Amino acid sequence: MSSARRPVTTGSVQVTEDNGFLTLGIPTILVERLAREGITEPFPIQVATIPDLLAGRDVLGRGQTGSGKTLAFGLPTLARMIEERRHRNARKPHALVLVPTRELAMQVSDALEPLVHVAGLRHKLVAGGLSYTTQISALQRGVDLLIATPGRLIDLIERGAVDLSEVTTTILDEADHMAEMGFLPEVTTILDHIPDGGQRMLFSATLDHGVDTLVERYLTDPVTHSTDDATASVTTMRHFAFLIDPQHKKPITAELANRAGRTIVFVRTKLGADRVATQLREAGVLAAALHGGLSQGVRNRVLGGFRDGSLPVLVATDVAARGIHVDDVSLVLQIDPPADHKDYLHRSGRTARAGEDGSVVTLVLPHQRKPVERLLKAAGVDATPTRVAPGGDLVVAAGGSTPSGEPISEAALARLLEPPKAQRRFPRAARGVRPGDKGGYRPPFRRDA
C-alpha cells in the first residue's frame, strides 16, 4: 500500500466512496479532515485494528514504530465519543491515552488535535515538566480525551484534580517502554481507578517486563493484530555494520553525520551525548544532545529544531529517543551498539518510516565484533561487520562526506534553539497561539501517526 501523501488542501474536499477510511466506517467529518491533508489510504495496522475497535473489542496491537498506530486507536476512539456525545458527563474524561514519555505525549496530542477539533471535542495533555496550573484548570473545565504520562496522572489523581470514573476507552501506547522504565505499578494503579467493562487497547512491540500480565489482567478476550515480527522487515531500510579502529571513531562519526536530511546518533549515556554533540559541532556539523538531564524547555526546543529541519543532527540516549517520532530521518547512527536486538529494532525504527528510505549504521570496535554479529542475527539483519576507515568508499556509500572542519559556536547553537524574540516579548494570545499549543511551532499532520 502506498504511503505517499497527496498535496495538502486548504479548502473543502470531496470524499469519494473508495476512500479507505470511509470504507472502514470512520465518521465522514474525520475522513474529510484527513483528506484535507491528503490522507486517504490507511496503513496496514489501521486496516487491521479499526473494524474491531469500532465494534468495541479489546485489542492487543503489535506494530513497528511509524506503522500508524496513533490513528489506529485515535480514529475509533473519537468516533465512539462523537456517537456517545449526548450521553456523557461533560466534566469528566471519557477516553485516556497513557504513554511513557512527555515527548510521545506531545506527539500523540499533535497528531490527534486536528481531529479532536473538527469533532467538537476537548483534549488535554498532562505530563511532568509542564504546568500543574494549566493542566488542573483544563481538567476543571472538562476534557473528553486525556493524554497522560503515568507519573503526572498519579499526581493529579492524588490531588483530586482528575476523576477517571467515566472513562470508557483506555489506550496503553508503547506499553513495553512503560514497563522498561519502571512504570507498571503506576499503570496498574491508574487502571484500577477506571471502571470495568470499558474498551481497552494495548500497543506494544513486545510482551516482556510484565506487559503480558497487563494483557491478562486488564484486557477481555483481546483480538491480536501484528504488522511485523520481532526482526527487521522494512524493505526500504539499509543496514551497515562498520568495523573501525578506536582512533577512527570520532572522524567517521562526523563524516556519517555530515549528510543531507536528519540524522539520529545513539549513545549509551547522557555524558556521551553531550560529548559527541560537542565533537560534531567542533567538526562543523550542527548537532545537539537530547537526554533526561536537560530541562524540559531545552528538550522541547531541541526536538522542535529537529522536527522543522533547522537542527539536522540529534545525539540521543535510548530513553530520550523513545518519544521521537519524526519523518524523514535518513540515518540512524549507532556509535554505541545497543544492548540487545530489541533495542536495535527500536532504534532502527526511527528511520525508513511511512515507506521512506533510510539507513542504519552501527560502529563496531574490534572487541565488540562477536556480540554485534549475534545481535544482528537475532534482529534478522543481513549485515556483516566490514572494516572501514575515514573517507572510505563504504562511508560515502552510506551517505557520509567530509565535514567543513569550521567549528559551530555555542552561541550559534543557542540562537538556533531560542524562541524568536517576538515570541518571547508578546503574550501567547497576541501571537495567535491557541490554548494548549506548545509554542508558535505547529507540526504538520502526520501521515503515519
pLDDT at 57 over 70: yes
Domain boundary residue, one of 207, 226, 245: 226
> For residue 433, is pLDDT > 50?
no
- The tally of domains found in the chain comes to 2
How does the average pLDDT of the chain come out, rounded?
84
Look at residue 15 and tell me if it is in a domain. no
How far is residue 387's CA from residue 236's CA, in Å, rounded to a whole number? 24
User: From the centroid of its chain, how far is CA 12?
Assistant: 30
Task: List, for residues 281-302, the tens digit of each pLDDT value.
Answer: 999 999 999 987 888 788 888 9
Tell me which H or E stretch contains 170.
strand 169-173
- CA–CA distance, 319 with 266 (Å, rounded to integer): 10
Q: How far apart are CA 228 and CA 147, in angstroms?
A: 26
- Any domain includes 437: no
**Cα 163 to Cα 93, 139, 150, 166, 415, distances in angstroms:** 8, 9, 15, 8, 42
Contacts of 193 (CB under 8 A, 6+ apart): 157, 164, 165
Over residues 134-144, mean pLDDT? 93
Question: What residues contact 429, with CB distance under 8 A and at least 6 apart?
Answer: none
Q: For residue 312, which of 274, 338, 270, 284 has the smallest C-alpha distance? A: 284
The distance of Cα 337 from the centroid of its chain, to the nearest Å, equals 21
Same domain, 119 and 249: no
Residue 215 reports pLDDT greater than 80: yes
Cell 501521515 maps to which residue?
447
**Same domain as 137, residue 100:** yes
Could you give the 3-state DSSP secondary structure of residue 331?
Answer: strand
| Percent of the chain surpassing pLDDT 70 | 83
Q: Count Cα neighbours of 200 within 13 Å in the Cβ-side half-sphere.
A: 21
Which pTM value belongs to this model?
0.64
CA 98, CA 167: separation in Å to the nearest integer?
Answer: 12
Q: Are residues 276 and 390 in the same domain?
A: yes
User: Within this chain, do residues 87 and 150 fall inside the same structural domain, yes or no?
Assistant: yes
Q: Are residues 248 and 325 in the same domain?
A: yes
- pLDDT computed for residue 124 by the predictor: 95
**Average pLDDT for 240-247:** 95
Domain that holds residue 398: 237-413
**In the β-sheet with 287-290, what is the strand arrangement from edge to edge?**
287-290, 313-316, 262-266, 329-334, 358-364, 237-243, 386-387
Residues 189 and 102 in one domain: yes
Half-sphere exposure for 433 (CA within 13 Å, toward CB): 16
- The residue with greater pLDDT, 307 or 311, is 311
- For residues 180 and 326, membership in a common domain is answered with no
- In terms of domains, do 407 and 269 share one? yes
Checking if the pLDDT of 73 tops 70, the result is yes
Choose the final residue of a domain: 226, 260, 280. 226
Q: Summarize the confidence of residues 249-275 as an average pLDDT.
A: 94
**What is the end-to-end Cα distance of the chain in Å, rounded?**
16
Say if 93 falls within a structural domain.
yes
Same domain, 269 and 298: yes
pLDDT of residue 135: 93
Between 95 and 421, name the one with better pLDDT.
Answer: 95
Beta carbons within 8 Å of 366's beta carbon, 6+ residues apart:
243, 245
Look up residue 3 and give its three cell numbers: 504511503
Domain-located, residue 26: no
What's the rounded Cα separation, in Å, for the pair 313 and 378? 28
Averaged pLDDT for residues 68-96: 86
Note the pLDDT tens digit of each residue in 178-188.
998 899 999 99
pLDDT given at position 66: 55
Q: What is the mean pLDDT of residues 200-210?
A: 86
pLDDT of residue 213: 92
Position 107 in a domain: yes
CA dist 147 and 300 (Å) reads: 17
What mean pLDDT do residues 40-68 have? Answer: 83
Mean of pLDDT values over 36-40: 84
The fraction of the chain above a pLDDT of 90, given in percent, is 52
> What value does the CA radius of gyration of the chain take, rounded to a whole number of Å?
22
> Does 290 map to a domain?
yes
CATH number at residue 220: 3.40.50.300
Task: Kindly list the strands in the beta sheet with 59-62, ordered across the sheet, starting from the edge strand earlier in the chain.
Answer: 123-126, 145-148, 95-98, 169-173, 199-203, 59-62, 223-226
Contact 72, 449 (CB under 8 A): no
pLDDT digits (tens, 9 = 90+) for 391-424: 999 898 888 999 999 999 988 888 888 765 544 4
Residues 128, 147 within the same domain: yes
Tell me, yes or no, whether 349 lies in a domain: yes
pLDDT given at position 416: 81
Q: Of 107-111, 174-178, 247-251, which one has max mean pLDDT? A: 247-251
Domain check: are 261 and 377 in the same one?
A: yes
Q: Is the pLDDT of residue 118 over 90?
A: yes
72 and 118, same domain (yes or no): yes
**Domain for residue 55, yes or no?**
yes
